[in-house]
Amino acid sequence: MTRVLLAGGGTAGHVNPLLAIADELMVQGQCAASEILVLGTTEGLESRLVPAAGLTLVTVARLPFPRRLSLYALAFWPRFVIATFQVVRMILRNRVEIVAGFGGYACAPAYVAAWLTRTPSVIHEANSVAGFANRLGARLSPHVATTFASTDLPGAKRIGMPLSRSITHPELTPSPADARAHFGLSPQKKTLVITGGSQGARSINATIDAGLADLLATGWQLLHIVGARNDVPKKPPKGYVGLSYCDRMDLAFAAATAMVSRAGAATVSEISLLGIPAIFVPYPVGNGEQEKNARGSVDAGAALLVRDADFTPRYVLEKMVPLLGDDKALAKMARSAKDLGDRDASGDFVRMMLEALGRVEEKE
């Protein structure tokens, strides 16, 4: 058995692949739950999702990398050194044999601590544009995996996105009718699922609210995951179900005939694997990684891409409504999506971990 430190967190895009790898390690018999430590922060989604998964969460301070000279920047490096030596103590005290990181604030001190203690480390970069922590980690480890081939990290191998086994290898595949009934929707109606990620997206929500009558007039019904920071309509119209957060995204995907979504790496990967026609509305702030995340699906004809500023009630009326009425176009998009997913990414990443430990031979 192997003692593992999994580092990552903040958003679902970092936490969910981490949990998928934890599950894969246990399914393969590489680890017991008691041998897995998860390193995160107290502020991220990991503070809720990791204990809910029956795993032990240890934390360090949330330390965003400073992008300009400021008082915070001056204090950053001493705080980073403190966090790094906290992780060094965790590694030594728990006799950790390998560190795996998935991006997020906790990863940078974990990678440096692994390097200092000569503990093997393995990195997974979810997005098409790598963040600071994983760019640092890729300089300290030869074992680097990515979701997208376009991600520019030295020596990286594309394996895809580690996803929950409830999506990649479900014990029982839920029917669309059963999934819709779970959410209180009509079992037989075509269903549009809208999600802006774990925190929601106000701009997407506002456009859906404004175009709701036009969307419902198509005969479709809507499952709208508004996000934890946004309010669910108190008096929703018939055919509309709103949720603040969805703990059963496997059922939401099963319910979907089509989707409107941000273009986080995990969401793009899940939608592609399941062959769901999609309209991606990339998050407009940051380094543009979400637009790049969606590019492969769009180029394959499996999805449409619309910039956040262009996702308006007019777009709903002129683009979305005609698409929802075109069964042939939706079927073609679904077929195009089917070849884009990576069902065995979790197993491939665990194999990379075993290669780093010298327990299996590296593939050529």
pLDDT digits (tens, 9 = 90+) for 327-358: 999 999 999 987 687 889 999 999 999 999 99
Verify that 221 and 241 share a domain, yes or no.
Answer: yes
Verify that 230 and 348 share a domain, yes or no.
Answer: no
Domain count, the chain: 2
| Residue 165, both tokens | 């086994």
Verify that 199 and 293 share a domain, yes or no.
Answer: yes
Verify that 308 and 349 share a domain, yes or no.
Answer: no
**Three-class secondary structure of residue 181 per DSSP:** helix
358 Cβ contact list (under 8 Å, min separation 6): none
364 Cβ contact list (under 8 Å, min separation 6): none
CATH number at residue 93: 3.40.50.2000
| Of residues 123, 118, 159, the one with CA closest to residue 139 | 123
Helix (H) or strand (E) holding 13: helix 12-27
Task: Report the side by side order of strands in the sheet with 191-195.
Answer: 240-243, 221-225, 191-195, 258-261, 278-280, 303-305
Residue 237 structural domain: 170-337
| Residue 284, both tokens | 């407009």
362 in a structural domain: no
Q: For residue 288, what pLDDT is reported?
A: 83
58 in a structural domain: yes
Tell me the backbone φ, ψ of residue 145, rounded to 5 degrees. Answer: -120, 150
| Residue 184, both tokens | 């209180």
Verify that 225 and 137 share a domain, yes or no.
Answer: no
**SS3 labels along 65-116:** CCCCCCHHHHHHHHHHHHHHHHHHHHHHHCCCCEEEECCCCCHHHHHHHHHH
DSSP 35: G
Verify that 177 and 147 share a domain, yes or no.
Answer: no
263 in a structural domain: yes
| Residue 122, both tokens | 């393995």
331 Cβ contact list (under 8 Å, min separation 6): none
| Of residues 230, 255, 247, the one with CA closest to residue 178 | 255
Verify that 21 and 116 share a domain, yes or no.
Answer: yes
361 in a structural domain: no
253 vs 271: CA distance, rounded Å: 8
159 vs 317: CA distance, rounded Å: 38
Verify that 76 and 176 share a domain, yes or no.
Answer: no
C-alpha separations of 141 from 98, 109, 154, 238 in Å:
12, 14, 10, 54
Segments in the chain below pLDDT 50 = none
Verify that 146 and 58 share a domain, yes or no.
Answer: yes
Asked whether 279 and 298 are in contact (CB, 8 A), the reply is no
Q: For residue 213, what pLDDT is reported?
A: 96
Verify that 37 and 144 share a domain, yes or no.
Answer: yes
pTM, two decimals, is 0.85
Verify that 44 and 28 share a domain, yes or no.
Answer: yes
Verify that 130 and 178 share a domain, yes or no.
Answer: no
364 in a structural domain: no
349 in a structural domain: yes
Q: For residue 5, what pLDDT is reported?
A: 98
Q: For residue 77, what pLDDT is reported?
A: 87
Asked whether 163 and 13 are in contact (CB, 8 A), the reply is no
| Residue 152, both tokens | 């520019």
175 in a structural domain: yes
| Residue 65, both tokens | 């990398």
Q: How many CA atoms lie within 13 A of 217 on its CB side?
A: 9
363 in a structural domain: no
Q: How many CA atoms lie within 13 A of 310 on its CB side?
A: 11
229 vs 202: CA distance, rounded Å: 9
